[in-house]
C-alpha cells in the first residue's frame, strides 16, 4: 500500500512508549490533575493494543501503595516511576523532578533488548522534555501532544488565576522545536503552535480526539434522575469537570442566580449539578465554589457530586437538560463530546476547540465571553424551551458520531509510521554525509 507521497506506506510501529509525567492514566478524571488527557491516553492505548501494538505508559509514582507495574488492559502496561516525593507535588513543582523521572525512563527501557520501542508519544510539556532526551538516546521519533499551551492560557486567564510560569513557556518552546511530530486537537490549536511557538506546519498534524460511543449513549432521563435522587420534572443544569478557575464553574452558578432573579418561580424546579473535585489553583480554596453558592443564595438548588466514573458519569449526562462548559480555555472539550453522545445539549464558551466540539445552533449554543446575563440567556434558551432542546438533543447525537476513538487511534498510528519513516531516512542521510566527509 502507498502513503500520501505515493511511495510504500510506512510500517506501523510494534511498540510505543507513552510518557505521562504528571498524571497517571489510572487516576479518576475530574479531580487533581486528572482530566481529558487521562481519557485520551487510556482510550488510544487500549485501541492500539487491539490493533497489535504494544503500549507501555511511563508515569510518576504518586503513592507508595502503587505497584511498580500494572496491566491496564491486554497489551497495555503502566509503569510507576519514582521521581521525588510521592505526594504533595503540584505540576509547578515537577520540573525539578524531571531529571529523576528521566533516569527512571532510561532504566525502564534498559530492561528490554536494544531497540525495543519504535516511537515515543509524550503528553504535556513535562513529558515532552523527557521524551526529547529519550528520543536522542534511543534513536526513535518523538511525537508530542501539548493538550494545553501556556501562551494561550495566559492570554485568557480567569480572575485570580495565576499565569503559567516562564519555565513552562520556555519548556514548550524547546519541545515544539525538537519533536518530530506535533499532534493537535483542532486546526485552531495548530495555528496557535505555528503563530505563537514557531512550529513547523509540516510537522504539525491535527487529529481530533474521540468519544467512547459504546459507553456514552442516549438513555432514559427519568431513570438517570431517579438514580441521582432528582425529581423527574426538574430543570437540571450540569457542570462536569475539575473545579478550578480555568474551568469556570462559577459562571454557571452566577448565571443560575440570574435565572432565579428573573423568574423566582423557577426555584422549586431548578437543580444545578456539579460533578467534580478541586484541582490546580482551585486547591488553594477548595470550598470556594460552595461558598459562592451560599453567597448567591443557591444552597437549595445546588448539588455537588464527587468525580464520576464509568456508568455513573453517563447517568449525570442523561439526567441533565444541558451541560455547561464555561471554560476560559479548552484545547477540545471531551466533556462536551461525551454529553452530546448521551443526547444532552451543551452550552459552551466560544473558546479554543469548543467551536469544533459543539455545533453552534445544531447540538447546543456557544457563548461569547463569561457575562452571567449572557449565559443566563443561553441557558434559558435551551433548558426552558422543550422544542429547541429536543432538536438540539438529536443534533448532539449526530454531531458526536462524527468523532470516535477508533478514528483518532488510526490517525495516530499513521502519524507514528510517517514520523518513523522520516526519522529513519533523515538518520540515513546524516550517516551518509558523515561517511562522505570521512572519505574525502
User: Annotation-wise, does 328 bind a ligand?
Assistant: no
Is 12 annotated among the ligand-binding residues?
A: no
Query: 168 a known binding residue?
Result: yes
> Does residue 344 have a known ligand-binding role?
yes
Q: Is 336 annotated as a binding residue?
A: no
Cα distance between residue 12 and residue 253, in whole Å: 48
Q: Answer yes or no: is 320 a known binding residue.
A: yes
φ, ψ of residue 143 in degrees (nearest 5):
-110, 130
Q: Is 319 annotated as a binding residue?
A: no
On whether 35 is known to bind a ligand per the annotation, the reply is yes
**88 known member of a binding site:** no
Residue 124 annotated as binding site: yes
3-state secondary structure the chain: CECCCCCECCCCCCEEEEEECCCCCCCCCCCCCCCHHHHHHHHHHHHHHHCCCEEEEEEECCCCCCCCEEEEECCEEEEEECCCCCCCCCHHHHHHHHHHHHHHHHHHHHCCCCCCCCEEEEEHHHHHHHHHHHHHHHCCCEEEECCCCHHHHHCCCCCCCCCCCHHHHHHHHHHHHHCCEEEECCHHHHHHHHHHHCCCHHHEEECCCCCCCCCCCCCCHHHHHHHHCCCCCCEEEEEECCECHHHCHHHHHHHHHHHHHHCHHHHHCEEEEEECCECHHHHHCCCHHHHHHHHCCCCCCEEEECCCCHHHHHHHHHHCCEEEECCCCCCCCHHHHHHHHCCCCEEEECCCCHHHHCCECCCEEEECCCCHHHHHHHHHHHHCCHHHHHHHHHHHHHHHCCCCHHHHHHHHHHHHHHHHHHHHHHHHHHHHHHHHHHHC
The answer to whether 317 is annotated as binding is yes
Q: Is 310 annotated as a binding residue?
A: no
Q: Check the annotation: does 34 bind a ligand.
A: yes
Please choose, from the candidates 216, 277, 271, the residue with its C-alpha nearest in 3D space to the C-alpha of residue 249: 277
| Residue 318 labeled ligand binder | yes
Check the annotation: does 386 bind a ligand.
no
Q: Is 2 labeled as ligand-binding? A: no
CA-nearest of 88, 41, 36 to 62 is: 88
Residue 151 marked ligand-binding: no
Binding site for Mg(2+), by residue number, is 317-318, 320, 344
Binding site for UDP-N-acetyl-alpha-D-glucosamine, by residue number, is 28-29, 36, 242, 247, 308, 330, 338
Binding site for 1D-myo-inositol 3-phosphate, by residue number, is 22, 33-38, 91, 124, 148, 168
Binding site, by residue number, is 22, 28-29, 33-38, 91, 124, 148, 168, 242, 247, 308, 317-318, 320, 330, 338, 344
Amino acid at each position: 500500500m502507498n502513503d500520501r507521497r505515493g511511495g510504500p506506506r510506512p510500517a506501523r510501529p510494534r511498540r510505543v512508549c507513552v510518557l505521562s509525567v504528571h498524571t497517571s492514566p489510572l487516576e479518576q478524571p475530574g479531580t487533581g490533575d486528572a482530566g481529558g488527557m487521562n481519557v485520551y491516553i487510556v482510550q488510544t492505548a487500549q485501541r492500539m493494543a487491539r490493533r497489535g501494538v504494544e503500549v507501555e505508559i511511563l508515569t510518576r509514582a504518586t503513592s507508595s501503595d502503587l505497584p511498580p507495574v500494572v496491566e491496564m488492559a491486554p497489551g497495555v502496561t503502566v509503569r510507576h516511576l519514582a521521581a521525588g516525593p510521592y505526594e504533595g507535588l503540584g505540576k509547578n513543582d515537577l520540573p525539578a523532578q524531571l531529571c529523576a523521572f528521566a533516569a527512571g525512563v532510561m532504566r525502564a527501557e534498559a530492561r528490554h533488548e536494544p531497540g525495543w520501542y519504535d516511537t515515543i508519544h509524550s503528553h504535556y510539556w513535562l513529558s515532552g522534555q523527557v521524551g526529547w532526551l529519550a528520543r536522542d538516546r534511543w534513536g526513535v521519533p518523538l511525537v508530542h501532544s501539548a493538550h494545553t499551551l501556556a501562551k494561550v492560557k495566559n492570554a485568557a486567564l480567569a480572575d485570580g488565576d495565576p499565569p503559567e510560569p516562564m519555565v513552562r513557556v520556555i519548556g514548550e518552546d524547546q519541545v515544539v522545536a525538537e519533536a518530530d511530530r506535533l499532534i493537535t486537537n483542532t486546526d485552531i490549536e495548530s495555528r496557535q503552535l505555528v503563530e505563537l511557538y514557531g512550529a513547523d506546519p509540516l510537522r504539525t498534524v491535527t487529529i481530533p480526539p474521540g468519544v467512547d460511543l459504546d459507553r456514552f449513549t442516549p438513555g432514559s432521563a427519568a431513570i438517570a434522575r431517579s438514580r441521582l435522587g432528582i425529581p423527574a420534572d426538574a430543570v437540571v443544569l450540569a457542570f462536569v469537570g475539575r473545579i478550578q478557575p480555568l474551568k469556570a464553574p462559577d459562571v454557571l452558578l452566577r448565571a443560575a442566580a440570574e435565572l432565579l432573579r428573573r423568574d423566582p418561580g423557577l426555584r422549586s424546579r431548578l437543580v444545578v449539578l456539579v460533578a467534580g473535585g478541586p484541582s490546580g489553583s482551585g486547591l488553594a480554596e477548595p470550598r470556594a465554589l460552595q461558598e459562592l453558592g451560599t453567597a448567591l443564595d443557591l444552597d437549595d438548588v445546588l448539588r455537588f457530586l464527587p468525580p464520576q466514573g464509568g456508568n455513573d458519569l453517563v447517568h449525570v449526562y442523561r439526567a441533565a437538560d444541558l451541560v455547561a462548559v464555561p471554560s476560559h480555555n479548552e484545547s477540545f472539550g471531551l466533556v462536551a463530546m461525551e454529553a452530546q453522545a448521551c443526547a444532552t445539549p451543551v452550552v459552551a464558551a466560544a473558546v479554543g476547540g469548543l467551536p469544533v466540539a459543539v455545533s453552534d445552533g445544531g447540538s447546543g449554543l456557544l457563548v461569547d465571553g463569561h457575562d452571567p446575563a449572557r449565559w443566563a440567556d443561553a441557558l434559558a434558551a435551551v433548558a426552558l424551551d422543550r422544542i429547541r432542546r429536543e432538536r438540539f438533543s438529536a443534533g448532539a447525537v449526530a454531531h458526536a458520531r462524527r468523532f470516535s476513538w477508533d478514528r483518532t487511534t488510526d490517525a495516530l498510528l499513521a502519524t507514528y509510521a510517517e514520523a518513523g519513516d522520516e526519522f529513519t531516512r533523515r538518520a540515513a542521510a546524516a550517516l551518509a554525509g558523515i561517511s562522505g566527509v570521512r572519505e574525502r
